[in-house]
Amino acid sequence: MRIELPREAERFGSNLFYGVQKIYELDAGSSQDTEFSSQFHVVHKISPEKIYEVESQMAIIIPVKNERLKLLEGVLCGIPHACLPIIVSNSTREPTNRFRMEYNAVDNFCRFAKKRYVIVHQKDDYFSNAFEATHYQEILNEQGMVKNGKAEGMIMGILLAKFLGKKYVGFIDADNFFPGAVFEYIRIYSSTFASANSIFSMTRILWHSKPKVIDSNLFFAKWGRVTRITNNYLNRLISLYTGFETDVIKTGNAGEHAMSIDLAMLLDYSAGFSIETYHFINLIEQFGGILESKHPDVMQNAVEIYQVESRNPHLHEVKNEEHIKEMIEHSLSVIFHSPISPSELKKEILRELKKLKIIEKENSPIQPTTYKALQSIDLHKFFCKIDLTKYCNFSTN
């Protein structure tokens, strides 16, 4: 992989938000390049060996809820062999048992691909018992089961990856139409981690484009509505603190992102679809130097946030208008409700939500549940409750 070095970085406390990096070659060859001994190079080449080393320590978490099996199979096909896929499903089990169908499809696929995998269901009582036993009840609903939501599934995936000794976690949605795009995203994750300086790092994908059909022609849209709005308010937040206007943040809603497990265990998470925007907010809350940090050791280090633009277009299942409004509200509400949100920014967010008719005149945006950092969970206690033989189908490797 050949990637441009970041041209700019916005420093916020210990956070380093890097500007968007471009890909120059998906495969940069294996020979040594003398240019890289020069300190003036602007493009970074990551060797296949380094990529392999990271990927063999990376779990790819795939949250899935009632997606088409063909899409899930395509996603599996795009995952480099060394990575371990962890599928966390919240698909229905009645009247048709879609979860069983997913399990069979994954098992069959991985037999042919000679690939190890883990597949779990979000509502399995093993998990709710484990969360109960480790005092993490906020993730459970009134029936004592894990709540619905993508974030909740992602949290389960992170815990499994940690337990299985993985050093990195990457997320890939199950509704992606292009296995080639999945492959590229994961190569971007592994390449950035291979060249990261800090053990606390995050990589977020900026989609090259989202193809749409307009007047019978393909149109490659760059910015979705939700992303445009979220990025704007995250950049406003940074600008209001630094006093310099910035547009460094381009990935406020990046579902496709990855983290070192050390960072993944430290961050607090927000429920449902606000989780990705909340990463930025929580990074600033915990390591931005405004509030007192619980982790002075991390403050001494840098926390690196990479944003890389993929070359493949992104095509996933089309969701309705309601879903879009919900995403805008959730994304902006985590910015609004943060203790670091300046009053000026709160006013601007309220104005935006009213303009979009997402909230009524006197109302405030909803406050999504937040989940405390996973490092508070006693992992030994947690996994005593979970029968891994039932879940981890390590078929032949």
Residues found near ligand GDP in the complex (CB under 6 A): 63-65, 67, 88-90, 122, 148-150, 153, 173-175, 255, 316-317, 319
Residue 254 Cβ vs ligand GDP, minimum distance, rounded to whole Å:
10
C-beta of 317: minimal distance to ligand GDP in Å? Answer: 6
Compute the least distance from the CB of residue 138 to ligand GDP, in Å. Answer: 16
- DSSP classification of residue 292: P
Q: Would you say 3 or 271 has its CB closer to ligand GDP?
A: 271
- Residue closer to ligand GDP (CB basis): 174 or 334: 174
Among Co ion, ligand GDP, none, partner that 326 touches (CB below 5 to 8 angstroms by kind)? none
Name the residue type at position 302: A
Assess 316 for contact with Co ion (CB under 5 A).
yes
Task: With H, G, I as helix, E, B as strand and everything else as coil, classify residue 155.
Answer: helix
Answer with the entry of ligand GDP, Co ion, none that 20 interacts with (C-beta below 5 to 8 A by kind): none
Q: Which is nearer to ligand GDP, 115 or 150 (CB)?
A: 150
Could you tell which of ligand GDP, Co ion, none binds residue 67, using a CB distance below 5 to 8 A set by kind?
ligand GDP
Compute the least distance from the CB of residue 258 to ligand GDP, in Å: 15
Which is it for strands 168-171 and 117-121: parallel, antiparallel or unpaired? unpaired
| 377: amino acid identity, one letter | I
Q: Which does 63 bind (CB under 5 to 8 A by kind): ligand GDP, Co ion, none?
A: ligand GDP
Residue recorded with tokens 């969970």? 377
Q: Which is nearer to Co ion, 102 or 175 (CB)?
A: 175
Biggest distance spanned by C-alpha atoms of the chain = 63
Query: What's the N-to-C CA distance of the chain in angstroms?
Result: 25
> Which of ligand GDP, Co ion, none is residue 174 near (CB under 5 to 8 Å by kind)?
ligand GDP
CB of 67 to ligand GDP, least distance (A): 5
Write down the residue that tokens 């996973």 correspond to.
374
Tell me 236's DSSP state.
H
Report whether the peptide linkage leading into residue 95 is cis, meaning its omega lies within 30 degrees of zero.
yes
Residue 116 interface partner, choices Co ion, ligand GDP, none, CB cut-off 5-8 Å depending on type: none
CB of 321 to ligand GDP, least distance (A): 12
Distance CA 328, CA 149 (A): 16
- Residue spans of alpha helices (H) in the chain: 48-55, 69-78, 98-113, 125-133, 150-163, 179-195, 225-242, 261-266, 275-287, 296-300, 321-336, 343-355, 379-384, 388-391
* Residue 175 interacts with Co ion (CB under 5 A): yes or no: yes
